[in-house]
Amino acid sequence: MYASYPALFRFLLGTAWFLYASVGQAQTVDSSITRTVYDDGFYMVSDDQTLRFGGRIQTDFHWSTTQGGEWLIRRARMLATGYAFPHFRYMLSARFDRGEAELDQAFVESRHLPYVRVRAGQFKEPFSQSRLLSSLQLDLMERPMVVNALTPTSDIGLMAFGDVLGGSLEYAVGVFNGRPFNQPENNRAKDVVGRLVARPFAHRKAAASHLYVAISGASGLRNDSLDLVSFETHRGTAFYPHASVLQHDGRLTRLGADLEWLWSRYTLRAEWLRGQWSDVRHTQTNGQLEVAGFYITAGLMLTDDEKPRTTLLYPQHEFHPMQGEWGAWEVVLRYEQMTITNPLAERFTARDPYRTSAWTAGLNGYLTEHIKWSLVSQWATWTAQEHSVLTRIQVAF
């Protein structure tokens, strides 16, 4: 299983060295292009860097009333990123957290114009505020359940994105295979995905200038088992056990709307998502499956630190107890709800729609620029109930 590790390491290092050697000395990059949410906050290279290596390790302990406890490596990633030429950015990353080496993201990006960039390869679709956040920047340890159900980790495609009107409007539109992470295409159709983010009070100096509102949409054909869709709690407990017997051969339409407000010590995020699967089959019966849900997240910094939107939080005072310095600390609370409506439900259960909800509370400690500690407790309710406690030590380098 682990035999592929050395080969992938050699591939990563060899590719990175080739890119570095092809450029020679570091070249000046156009710094007039502003940062967007499509730039992974920790791994953005500076204006005079040609190549940079990075990575992250997230070591977790998960416990729940349904499954007990276990230690696990939630994420382990390595990457090389930089500029092959002044206006071409690249990223190549691998993941090692599923017991084997896998491609995570691999793309090349043109930055010739300040108002439009073009990216090709495997990367995140422009859909859902929570999905676009790096796992290093999550308010709580896991994304909301409806986000995991309706947004893929990464997909292969082509995307144009950028910002206009002095950063008041961000846009992205792309064409993707529409397949789960690291899986080949299985039909001729493609997913069209788009996202528009507005900053309505950008030119005001009040707190309202930090408000962002967005809409997202996606449409494409599928020919897959719904077992590939994630209907799980933070602990990994399945709350919709019927997905494995449902086959989808039709159109999947997704819609989303969200808002984001980060100002001073305060954080507020909210999002609504809906997905509609046409022509869902079980044996000889066809129907339509709909998943809809929302979440509201509120956070408060307990120290005099501000939480940035597109980069990691670097504490003003790093964790040095002997010197009376304790880093930056934050408390977070989230409520989420998801409803699954399926006309075939009477074949399995009288419960339709199938609803699950959860309260999640968390504490984040930003100990240094590279180390973060988190503690999360979730109370989830569906036809059953689950209480889970998760903790994580995160290292980014």
pTM of the model: 0.86
How far the first Cα of the chain sits from its last, in Å, is: 26
pLDDT tens-digit readout, 176-193: 998 877 777 877 789 999
**Amino acid at site 160:** A
Q: Could you tell me which residue, 226 or 367, shows the higher pLDDT?
A: 367
Number of H helices, E strands in the chain: 3, 18
User: Could you give phi then psi for residue 16, rounded to 5 degrees?
Assistant: -60, -40
User: 91-99, long-range: CB within 8 Å, 24+ apart, which pairs?
Assistant: 91/40, 91/43, 91/123, 92/12, 92/15, 92/16, 94/8, 94/12, 96/5, 97/73, 99/1, 99/2
Asked which of 187-196, 207-216, 240-249, 299-308 is least confident by mean pLDDT, the reply is 240-249
For the record, the structure tokens of 300 come out as: 């408060």
Which residue's structure tokens are 């869902």? 280
In the prediction, which pLDDT does 182 show?
Answer: 77
For every residue of 233-274, DSSP letters joined together read: -TT--BS-TTGGG-EEEEEEEEEEEEEEEEETTEEEEEEEEE
- Give buried/exposed letters for 249-268 (b at 16+ CB in 10 A, else e): ebebebbbbbbbbbeebebe
How many Å apart are CA 11 and CA 5, to the nearest integer? 10
The residue among 343 and 137 whose pLDDT is bigger is: 137
Q: Which residue has the higher pLDDT, 60 or 8?
A: 60
Q: Looking at the predicted structure, is the pLDDT value of residue 346 above 60?
A: no
Question: What is the sign of the dihedral through the CA atoms of 382, 385, 386 and 387?
Answer: positive
Pick 130 or 86 by higher pLDDT.
Answer: 130
Q: Could you give the maximum distance between any two Cα atoms of the chain, in Å?
A: 70
- Secondary structure letter of residue 21 according to DSSP: H
